[in-house]
Amino acid sequence: MPSPAPKQPEKPGNSRSDDAVHVPTHDAAHVTPHDENPPKGTGISRRAFGGLAGATAIGATVTATGAAAPAAAAPAPGTHAAERPFRAATGRRARRPNILFILGDDLGWADLSSYGSPHIRTPHLDRLARQGVRFTQSYSGSATCSPTRFSLYTGRYPGRTKGGLAEPIADRSSGLEPGHPTLASLLKGAGYATALIGKWHCGYLPDYSPTKSGWDTFFGNFGGALEYYSKLGLAGEYDLYEGDATYKDLRYYTRIITERAVEYVGRDHDRPWLLNLNFTTPHWPWIADGDEEESAEIVRRIKAGERGALQHRDGGSLAKYTEMVQDLDRSVGEVLAALKRSGQERDTLVFFASDNGGERWSYNWPLSGNKASLQEGGIRVPTIVRWPARLDGGQVSHEPVFSPDWTATLLELAGARPHPAYPLDGTSLAGYLLRGERIAERDLFWRVRGERALRRGDWKYYRGRGGRDQLFHLANDPREQADRAAAEPARLAELRAAWEKVDGTLLRYAEG
């Protein structure tokens, strides 16, 4: 196997030796990268993927004569043949990382080929996974766009803030209060440059904006969705901004923000940086690059006053959705290539995930539910982390984690402290990732209007809109079909009480 790549040369002005911190390792060899388009059959199957099905892959191969060769040692459940279970590489030193935090929008659990999609090919994100750590039981902070972003930016349950009660934000009545500490404001206080490119969806001008909440610069859209060419939002408003001023560019939106991100990561930075890169892809409307006629028709309907035209309920297809996801993959690939060219790849932590579960055209097998639901399909999301200086590649983690954990983790890695008046609800994973420590036992909690859920170990308590308490053992039943509530009444009562205890500390929903 090849030895680890040599350290990339630094650009002038990028030296931060005073930022070096000791990290707790074993120097496992890096997995040899695969071809960009691996041959069919090298990915996970529909029934054995992501640690969900509980079945171990059989390691038999076929020789040139057609005879079965001896089976190799089978990987752990949910581990690809080229992956190994996560193990921290301890004892390394590295400077504080740059942070490139990339979100897809409404990307489903298995919409990446590295997570089991049988028809979507995502070579750039698959390569990112091979170079880093793929998480199979990672969750969003909520089941829709804006509350998940609240949980990520604040590191707290969405229900701790008024704006987080909107599921999602759809008007100008609420947003992320500028006085609330955020990942960006806390990192900025620790010496980071901060930027947000793409979808904000945490409140509208004049009261709310990324530049009011800790980001030095902002380029993107304020609302939850926009038509990809015209930039018209849900109310027919133009929604592309640089800072607090509108910016006119009628090209395909994904192209525009990709260009901006490429430019940002390629700069001569004189300090560590945070870039939140929030794509709207593959969120509706179902318009791919080049679909200008479909775009014009949606714009016509919006301008004619047709409510819901942007939701595109009469449009889209599996083929169009595939095109959009593959475009997202290419766009991420462009940004990662720019990062590599800049010489900052080794010292940049790249995080990729979706903001919540998939919708309509997404591939979620075998999970039940979609976006807006607290079933697994609404909150379990593909998640990849790469940091060459500190994490070995070719690894998979089956630890349950969720959005507020990443806030706590990034703050610790950057040497920033949470604000004492706004305690975090997430648990830092830095000890797990860098020092080989066990993640402390804790509950993962979710609440949306009409639904509740809490995960403890392999058990999940769930109450849907029908009002019935249910209990599922996710390791055995990731599809949430075998309700164990009647068989485990004491456990059900314990988890329900734990959920209600947390709920009692949150803001109440408005009536109606």
**What are the backbone dihedrals phi and psi of residue 187, each rounded to the nearest 5 degrees, phi first?**
-70, -35
Strand 383-386 relative to strand 348-354, pairing: antiparallel
Specify the DSSP class assigned to residue 13: T
Strand 61-62 relative to strand 68-69, pairing: antiparallel
Other CB atoms within a 10 A radius of the CB of residue 60 amount to 11
Catalytic residue among 80, 124, 145, 283: 145
For 122-170, strand residue ranges (E) read 133-135, 138-139
Residue 198: partners with Cβ closer than 8 Å, 6 or more residues away: 103, 219, 220, 221, 257, 276, 277, 278, 279, 280
Strand 217-221 relative to strand 193-199, pairing: parallel
The SS3 of residue 112 is coil
Catalytic residue among 80, 180, 201, 312: 201
Cβ pair 390, 397 in contact under 8 A: no
Partners of 245 in the β-ladder: 242
Residue whose C-alpha is closest to residue 426's, from 440, 447, 413, 437: 440
The two structure tokens encoding residue 446: 């979710």
Distance in angstroms (rounded) separating the CA atoms of residues 28 and 31:
9
Distance in angstroms (rounded) separating the CA atoms of residues 163 and 142:
13
What residue has token string 């020789």?
63
Q: Is 202 a catalytic residue?
A: no
* For the chain, counts of helices (H) and of strands (E): 10, 21
The two structure tokens encoding residue 222: 């304020």
Percentages helix, strand, coil for the chain (3-state, rounded to 5) are 25, 15, 60
| Residues taking part in catalysis | 145, 201
